[in-house]
Amino acid sequence: MVSAPRGRDREQNKCYQAAWEMEKGIAAMAACYQTFDPAAYLQYNYTPPRADLTRKDSIVPWKLACLHRAFTEDDVSGELLLDIGSGPTLYQVLSGCEVFNKVLMTDFLEVNRQELRRWVQDAGGCSLDWTPYLQHVCKLEGRRYTWTEKATRLRRVIVDVLPIDVHRPQPMAPDALPAAGADCLVSCFCLESVSPDLAAFTRALGHIRKLLKPDGHLMLIGALGESYYLGGPGLKIPVVPLNEAQVCASLKESGFTLIRLEVYNLPRDMRIGVDDVTGVFFAKAKKK
């Protein structure tokens, strides 16, 4: 006769079951991304109306302004900026490239890494012209030099485009970073869009924290109230629908001290059917 499991055994079984369910969900998310279309994604999210750089309430100018302020504050400095889950986009490092001498970009998908390399190598064939973004950030920074000079600097300081998996305890290859880690992390719309649930999102935050030096900063941008987005024609990718309190709690649980949280509410005319996002958050945090 087999006795019923004791309390500790039952709790252990629950933990095993939860871990198994999370791993199954992560595998399902990875499978979802196998047909991700960088060109379509860029068209959906980085052209007007969402990327109307002449409109103050457009989402992209808001993001660029948040990043500009954060990267030009006196407490942010160092040698290496690491972009976590770059996707096929460059906007998130346009201000940071003026502060750090080295920028390392990363993504889980080879198609996104190829998109970035085409721009970095100035090889042509890019899916989006980043000129308006370069021009806009030059204006924010009050730079005297031209956007072409900024593009030249960005290409020079991007030292590599590497694979990453935020769901692994060690997200990058052991020799990808200096032993001490990066001086600063930036990550935009990555963790919530590759995690099956809030627990996986929080765990991923803990994983990327390991890539950061003690007292280093994290600049985190993500979606609020979003349950899906289109990663290509007919490709509906699930997203963890976060709220502000959950973002703050996850950062704290993962070993970050929140410095500032800003929120953008999406105007109705920018809800164009490529997702169901209601807002965007920007968090500046520091590794404890």
Token digits of residue 59: 């989402």
Residue type, position 78, single letter: G
70 dihedral zone (left: phi>0; alpha: psi -120 to 50; beta): alpha
Token digits of residue 76: 């942010």
Contacts of 176 (CB under 8 A, 6+ apart): 104, 162
- The verdict on whether residue 112 carries a ligand-binding annotation is yes
- The verdict on whether residue 101 carries a ligand-binding annotation is no
- The verdict on whether residue 46 carries a ligand-binding annotation is yes
Which pairing describes strands 182-188 and 80-84: parallel, antiparallel, or unpaired?
A: parallel
Token digits of residue 218: 């994290």
- The verdict on whether residue 227 carries a ligand-binding annotation is no
- Edge-first strand listing for the sheet containing 158-163: 158-163, 102-107, 80-84, 182-188, 212-224, 279-287, 256-265
Q: How far apart are CA 117 and CA 106, in angstroms?
A: 11
Residue type, position 278, single letter: T
- The verdict on whether residue 107 carries a ligand-binding annotation is yes
- The verdict on whether residue 2 carries a ligand-binding annotation is no
- The verdict on whether residue 45 carries a ligand-binding annotation is no
Token digits of residue 244: 């502000």
Q: How far apart are CA 135 and CA 209, in angstroms?
A: 32
- The verdict on whether residue 265 carries a ligand-binding annotation is no
Residue type, position 23, single letter: E
Distance between alpha carbon 75 and the CA centroid of its chain, in Å?
Answer: 21
Q: Count the Cβ atoms, other than its own, within 10 Å of residue 51.
A: 21
Token digits of residue 219: 């600049």
- The verdict on whether residue 142 carries a ligand-binding annotation is no
Contacts of 22 (CB under 8 A, 6+ apart): 196, 197, 199, 200, 203
Q: Which residues are annotated as a binding site for S-adenosyl-L-methionine?
A: 41, 46, 85-86, 91, 107, 112, 165-166
Binding residues: 41, 46, 85-86, 91, 107, 112, 165-166
